[in-house]
Each structure stands twice: as C-alpha cells, then as structure tokens.
Amino acid sequence: MHLNYTVGYIIPIVLDALKDTELSGDWWDIQPGVVRLCGDTVEERTKNMDKTTRRWREAQRFEILSGWRDEIYTVYAPKGSPFFYMERSAHPLFGVLAYGSHMTVYVPATPTTPLRIWVPRRAAGKATYPGMLDNTVAGGMGNGAGPWECIIKEAGEEASLEESLVRAKAKPVGFVSYFYVRHKEAGGEAGLLQPEIEYCYDMAVEAPDSGGPTLKPCDGEVAVHILMDIDEVVANLKNGKFKPNCSAVLLDFFIRHGIITAENEPDYLEIYTRLHRRLEFPTR
Amino acid sequence: MHLNYTVGYIIPIVLDALKDTELSGDWWDIQPGVVRLCGDTVEERTKNMDKTTRRWREAQRFEILSGWRDEIYTVYAPKGSPFFYMERSAHPLFGVLAYGSHMTVYVPATPTTPLRIWVPRRAAGKATYPGMLDNTVAGGMGNGAGPWECIIKEAGEEASLEESLVRAKAKPVGFVSYFYVRHKEAGGEAGLLQPEIEYCYDMAVEAPDSGGPTLKPCDGEVAVHILMDIDEVVANLKNGKFKPNCSAVLLDFFIRHGIITAENEPDYLEIYTRLHRRLEFPTR
C-alpha cells in the first residue's frame, strides 16, 4: 500500500537517527528525498512510531524527548481521518502539524482606561520557555480533545477560570496557522520544524475592581497573571518577552480589534496573510 | 530596463487583443508565456496602458469596458511604490490586484433577539450584479484613497451613515484576500481573473427601535437596506443571493464572531485560510 501524501518534514539530524537501524528498527522506509513510516493500518503505524520514539528516548538520542509527556497527538490523513497517533513531545522531530487553543482574556477599553489584557508569566521551572510571557490561556490539543473542550479545560487549569463563565463568555474567533522553526528556548534541539494551527478565542471580562475575575495560576505552569495595559503588552512584544507563537495570537487579536490597522502598520497585508498560512498537510 | 516581477495574469482573449497591433499599438512586448507593458517610467507605462484601453473601448473589443468609470486604480511595484495607474473597469482584463473596503453594520444579539445585519439589495439597473445582496457598505479603492477613507466615503454614499458616527464606531478587523474568476453576473466577459484584497470593517449599532440608525440608500446604487436576522442571511448565502465577494466578507465575519466554529463547520480550516490567501503580486 503506497500513500502519496506528506504529513511532515524532518531535518538531517532526524534522518541520521532513522537511518540507524539499531535505533530505529525496520519501521522506516528511507528513499532519496522521502521517508515513509511503515505500516498498513493506523494501529501498525502508531506502534512503529511508538517503538521508534521510545527507543530514541531510552538511548537519549534527542534532548527534546526528555520532556516526554505521555500525551497523544493525532496526525491526520486526507479528509480528516487519523493516520497515526504519537507522543506529543516527539512531534517536532517529524515536523508534523500540531494543534492548540489560545484565549485572550481582556478588559475592554473605557473612556478613561485603555484596553487591558491578562498576561501570564510562565513558571521559571517549565521545560519550554521558562519565565516568558504567554497568552492568557493556551494549551496543546492532545488526547483527542477538540479546540473548544481544550480551551475550557486549560482555562480552569491555567487561570482558575470557572467553566460556566468560560462557556458563557469565550468566543471562537478563528485561528492562526504558521510554520514555526524551534528556537533553543523551546527546549530540546533547535531548528526542528513545527507547523501549527492555534484556534483562537477572545473573552471580554470586567476589571477586577468592577466585579470581574482575578486570574490566578492553578496548576503550577504559570507563575503569575498580570493585567497589562495595551502599551505594556506592545513593549513586551517588541522586546521579545512573549513566547513566539503567543506573539502571533496577539498580532491577530490586535488586527481583529482595530489596534493594528492598514493606516498604522506598513506590513499589515504581509503580517495578516502570514498569520493564516495555508499548510500543505492534511488537517483534522 | 527589465523588470522581473508579475503584477497580473491575462487570459487568451486578452492576449489575442494585445497581439493585434492595429488595436494595441507597439505598447506591449509579447514573449512566450509573458507579456510586458512597455515604458521605463510610471508615466510612460500609465500612458501606454491608457492608450491601449481607450482604443479597445472605442473598438468595442471588450464588453467589460462598456462600464468605463473614469476612476483610477493603482498597480503596485514591490515595496508598495506605484508601477502604473489604469482605468478601474479595465483591471480584470489584466488580472491585476484590486483593493476595496467592506463594512458589516450589525445589531448585536440580545437575550431575546438574534444578531442582525443590515443588508442592501443592489439597484436593478446596476451594471454589475444587479439586484443581488451586498455587504452593508462596500466600495473599490480608487483614485488614491486608503481603506479607511474609502469606507467613510462609501458609508455616506451607500447607506446615508453620518461621517461622525462611522468615524466613532467603525472598527478595522483585518481583510479577506482571494482570487476571483469573474462570472457572467459580474458584467462583461466571464473568466477574467480578479485577485482582490478587501479591507474589512465591523460596526455595531443599536436597533432602529432603540435609537439606532435606519440605513437608507443615498446614491442610487442600492435599492433598499434590510435588517436581516442571521438565519435569513445564511439562507440567502446558501441560495447564492449575495454578490460572491460579499459572501467571503460575511464568512470572515461569521468566523470572527463565533457563528461559524471548528465544531459546527467541517471545512473551518480550509475556509478561513482560503479567505486569507497570500497573493503572489506586489501590494500597496
């Protein structure tokens, strides 16, 4: 059975590991320019991927696998059917498309106060991007959850937001899609390829002194939540203080909310189309 | 001076006209696979384009030129500098990128009423898409206007909206970009290529019975404005009653407002990325 579609891209350090049959078994068919994961069924492919990544982890071949999460990501075939499942921490090794949900919780501008955004600072001990600023609520879509259920769950875990409040006030507003090349700060090997689709949600709340929620960390992944004026958010973006994909979500928010406009940003067209890249892989 | 970038695509009926030097002078350099507008300066290229399109109009070579508007569109070189200027009605003959501004004026949902949108029906006598439904306010960006000034002007002309109200309440929310292949209903030759960027604006207003504006035609291009429930808008979209590019603007509105979601639309990813196509031409 030959499958003629591409679900990800690998870089040379990964190809070298795949060529080493001591490490990667006979679960891969390596041809010039293309590598095929063997297996005629979803189950076989999933098993072959699992054996490969577990063996790499045991051999400490890739630093990125030290962040093993026991969380399952789905890789899709055309028409949205699953092609195989794999461990979340390994997906950048194969450059396969990942999905997540990001929510911007904000206090709208009033005649006397500018728009403010609830911005969390990531815990200093986090394996990826420790201490950096983040979107209010954000999480990868693993273990079969859809984007809406993902954001509800993460809103409770990361920001102590009541499920009933989130279900009533969170609004789906599209997504950003892009091809991320991993920095060192992402943890693990730099240069790995990570195409992503992040579903975006907006949630307008009252200010705490007007009866709105005060966001608090819940699960230890966030150090603190800060209610930042828009100017402070922009300054932190310019200084590279935000986790990179969170910057993409904020730029999309700024464009949808008329903060970045065609009149004040010369690269308006370029920025917005690049935030909505059409990825060349099958999707969910 | 050789310029190595593409600003548009032509189809064979246009190439035939360009090859006819009786019609098109010596203002075009025709090579296999590529046609170059002669002229070393913006002024020369503009003059050569103008002579060509005026001669075609006199010879009644293309039906689309019967809609001659004496309105100037700008075609851009890289980095946003003008490459040449041309008559608006002729731009689909050359498949060059056009720009416009579209605004959705809506009455937000309340606990007892669904979201409603002000929808104009185009005048029966209009040369393009007579009688079809349209975005609340929409217009092509000609004669050097930017997107914001364009929408302010059109809001007055098409919907009798006060300039002060529009300046206070209209919100820039991004744009849609796509490659339109002209239907017969567009007027003129079918099959002409029309890549477009439409800057989008949202404007929330009160219902007329709560003191909000009642939209009225002003310049004769619109027959009537109807305040439609969202279900009625969707039914009209499904029945093809909207001008095609207005459907694109409404789909973007529905996604940004959480009406179309990842959970209720299987083609969510495909629709939204295609609404933000990265066009291969230099832009403003």
- Are residues A62 and A203 located together in one domain of the fold? no
B169 touching A (Cβ < 8 Å): no
Q: A210 and A121 in one domain? A: yes
Mutate to test the interface with A, among B201, B256, B260, B263 (most CBs of A within 10 A): B256
Distance in angstroms (rounded) separating the CA atoms of residues A244 and A198: 12
Calculate how close chain B gets to A162, using CA atoms only, in Å. Answer: 20
pLDDT score of A126: 86
Q: Which domain holds residue A76?
A: 12-90
B27 domain residue, yes or no: yes
Is residue A221 included in any domain, yes or no?
yes
Asked whether residue B78 is assigned to any structural domain, the reply reads no
Residues A103 and A242 occupy one common structural domain: yes
How far apart CA B137 and CA B157 sit, in angstroms, is: 9
Last residue of a domain, one of A43, A63, A90: A90
B274 and A269 within 8 Å at the Cβ level: the answer is no
Question: Would an 8 Å CB–CB cutoff place A171 in contact with chain B?
Answer: yes
Within a domain: A2: no
- Interchain CB contact of A175 with B (< 8 Å): yes
Question: A199 CB near a chain B CB, below 8 Å?
Answer: yes
Alpha carbons A134 and A87: distance in angstroms, whole number:
23
**B7 lies in some domain:** no
Element (H, E) at A268: helix A268-274
- Considering the domain architecture, whether residues B118 and B240 belong to the same structural domain is answered as yes
| Same domain membership, residue B104 and residue B58 | no
Positions of chain B with pLDDT lower than 70, given as ranges: 1-3
Residues whose CB falls within 8 Å of the CB of residue B86, separated by 6 or more in sequence, listed in order: B46, B49, B50, B53, B72, B73, B75, B94, B96
Domain end residue (candidates: A57, A90, A123): A90
Contact A118, A135 (CB under 8 A): no
Q: Is residue B215 part of a domain?
A: yes
State whether B128 and B42 are in the same domain: no
* Chain-chain contact of B256 with A261 (C-beta, under 8 angstroms): no
Q: Which two tokens stand for residue A77?
A: 């075939």
Among A174, A263, A270, the residue with its CB nearest the CB of B256 is A174
Q: Which pLDDT value is given to residue B3?
A: 60
Instruction: Indicate whether A17 and A148 sit together in one domain.
Output: no
Asked if residues A48 and A38 have their Cβ atoms less than 8 Å apart, the reply is: yes
ipTM of the complex: 0.90
B32 and B118 together in one domain = no
Residue of B nearest to A196 (CA): B269
Of B146, B199, B256, the CB nearest to A173: B256
What's the domain count of chain B?
A: 2
Q: What is the pLDDT of residue B127?
A: 79
- Give contacts of A 136-165 with B, CB under 8 A: 146-148
| Same structural domain, A26 and A79 | yes
Rg (CA), chain A: 20
Would the CB atoms of A257 and B199 count as touching at under 8 Å?
Answer: no
The residue out of A55, A90, A125 marking a domain boundary is: A90
Q: Give the strand pairing for B137-140 and A28-31.
A: unpaired
Q: Specify whether A114 is located in the same domain as A222.
A: yes
DSSP for A24-86, written as a single string: HTT-EEEETTEEEE--SSHHHHHHHHHHHHHHHHHTT--GGGGG----EEEEEPGGG-EEEEE
pLDDT tens-digit map of B132-177: 999 999 999 987 789 999 999 999 998 999 999 999 999 999 999 9
Question: Quick one: B174 and B246 in the same domain?
Answer: yes
pLDDT in tens, chain A (284 residues): 456 789 999 999 999 999 998 888 899 999 999 999 999 999 999 999 999 999 999 999 999 999 999 999 999 999 889 999 999 999 999 999 999 999 999 999 999 999 999 999 999 988 789 999 999 999 999 877 899 999 999 999 989 999 999 999 999 999 999 999 998 888 899 999 999 999 999 999 999 999 999 999 887 889 999 999 999 999 999 999 999 999 999 999 999 999 999 999 999 999 999 999 999 899 98
* Neighbouring residues of A175: CB distance < 8 A, sequence distance ≥ 6: A197, A198, A199, A200, A276, B262, B269, B272
- Model pLDDT for residues A116-152, shown as the tens digit of each residue: 999 999 999 887 899 999 999 999 998 778 999 999 9
Could you tell me which of A274, A263, A236 has the C-alpha nearest to residue A122?
Answer: A236
Residue with token string 């490459």: B83
CATH number at residue B156: 3.90.79.10
A181 and A78 co-located in one domain: no
Contact criterion met (CB < 8 Å) for B273 and A272: no
Alpha carbon distance A92, A72 (integer Å): 13
Chain-centroid distance of CA A204 in Å reads: 22
